Amino acid sequence: MTPRLPDRTVVLGHRGSSAHARENTIEAFRLAMAQGGAGVELDVRRTADDELVLHHDPEIAGLGQIVGLSASELPDYVPTLSEALVLLSGAIVNVEIKNSPAEPDWDPHDGVAERVAQLVSGIPGIVVSSFNPATVVAVGDHAPDVARGLLLPPGTVIGDVLAEVAATGAWALHPHWSSIDESVVTQVHDAGLAIIAWTVDDADVIRTLASWGVDAVISNDVAAAVEALS
């Protein structure tokens, strides 16, 4: 169930409107929508008791690794994915699964991908993304109806990875904004993929990306990004 994108570039709040509120919190998500965002990007990790919670880093300062803590031990400001989905009903929600071999909550069997897929299946407007291609594939294996996106690091030559992206079954490509030019947008669209740029706060860059036909920009400052496109 792919997100319905309008025929113009939309703004997704990076961890909510994180320039104005604590990132990955209900406050930041609510603010992103109030500022005119089409939705948000958020980061999912698992706790010791297998709750899906929203936090970018694998650790919380002063407490330790999230994967070593139960959900009840986390600060009140850390929401669950389920709580965010209720708040963001009807919005575009880019759920990024954090799953890196270099981090303490590395999930080689993609159990988190399975649980996320089961949770979001059937919900309109969801796209599940990861830098890990195997995780993107796993989401599709468990819920083929869920739109997926493959994140790419800065410096990626987009033309060199389109075949890999297609092999994951992804609906969208999520490159860093600095890897994009007009020809890249054309290539991606010709491959039948949406293109979502992260993370861009410069108004001139946002306007340029929009002029090239980028489908969405992920920005820390939703209000400023929306203003840039108005």
Residue 51 lies in a domain: no
Helix axes 111-120, 133-142, angle to 10 degrees: 50
Quick: pLDDT tens for 139-165.
999 999 999 999 999 999 999 999 999
Listed residue (92, 102, 178, 104) closest to 129, CA to CA: 92
Name the residue with tokens 């790419």: 152
Domain residue limits at 190: 10-44+87-228
Mean pLDDT value across residues 9-28: 99
Mean pLDDT value across residues 84-94: 98
Quick: pLDDT tens for 160-170.
999 999 999 99
> Has residue 39 got a pLDDT over 90?
yes
Tally of domains in the chain: 1
Residue 219 lies in a domain: yes
Do residues 149 and 171 lie in contact, with contact meaning Cβ atoms separated by under 8 Å? yes
Do residues 106 and 100 lie in contact, with contact meaning Cβ atoms separated by under 8 Å? yes
Q: The domain that contains 138 carries what CATH number?
A: 3.20.20.190
Residue 151 lies in a domain: yes
The predicted pLDDT at position 2 comes to 82
